[in-house]
Structure 1
């Protein structure tokens, strides 16, 4: 599909990648951009149409789908990172990660699939290199992103008959507020968004933004003990 002339909806558009998505969509000639957030008053980008949306609230999602009935491109970007582990972490917090990344994305897809059916259109899910590996201290996030990756592959098959493209966007750490405390290398969020939108226009199923993410994906074909070297071998 072409970005120019499209009508897009971006979740979590008040900051970070979401704000970059909304801005670049406008720059690429999108006819209309719905910029959504749980607190819409925080959306400060000129030229967008602001909607209140909490992707974890089915009623809020239904209201957004009713208001934005002309969408041809859905960008599922909204996310959280709680720094929670699975064995000892708070269960409500773990559920919040899953409710946001997995069920929240699923709510959006189910609500907007009939809207997209009219145009074919496209869905871009913002995933993570952590869809493919675990990291002690953020395992709730990794589990939720792995589930979201599987969801992305599943809905691609289910929506193929109506002509809707489903693209997964994988990245390592982006230089956004969410990763402010991370001290490693970070990728420019504008570069992430550019790669994702280029991937949509190219009809790609998956976009792997940076070398780190590509390395992680390649490691899946090898024995896990080669990647998780911190875990003592049973032998």
Structure 2
């Protein structure tokens, strides 16, 4: 039985295609490339965290109840530190903080695993980060006072955390890079716990969270 003839030119082209794809995805030295889920997650989550920190500062400066103030401090410290890590990764990977890639495009998969389902896939299509407060909502929070401000903060932050959890869960479906996976797992665990706490704080104030965006997954 004759062995199949292999065209060395075709084989060489195939290897070249694979090499180019690997470079685009992971960049030099096996680090994530500009279009990778890891880079997209780092950029988008840095923006997502920045808004959470901004909202936490807003409520902190209003002199809220002790439990709200403590929560705000925790969010500021945790998410500011995590944001620094995201930006540090990008610097380490020799990637810019800004990119031509659309917001949330990384959640479509880019050949690095299946696209995240439900709302995550919709976010990848629309380019909107889940859970983000609108400019109008941020203005309402800045103008609110007393318990009204506390309730609005909790409602906005619960929805914001739900979006953060979905983004982190989306990354876990697309990446196996240890430091990024570890951070995503911490976000899922930490923010899920804070959602439960904030829901209870709302109950004590006779209020309810906004309809959960998690149900759309």
TM-score (normalised: structure 1): 0.28
The structure that has the greater radius of gyration is 2
Question: Larger strand proportion, structure 1 or 2?
Answer: 1
Question: Larger helix proportion, structure 1 or 2?
Answer: 2
TM-score (normalised: structure 2): 0.30
Which structure has more RCO (C-alpha within 8 Å, separation ≥ 6)? 2
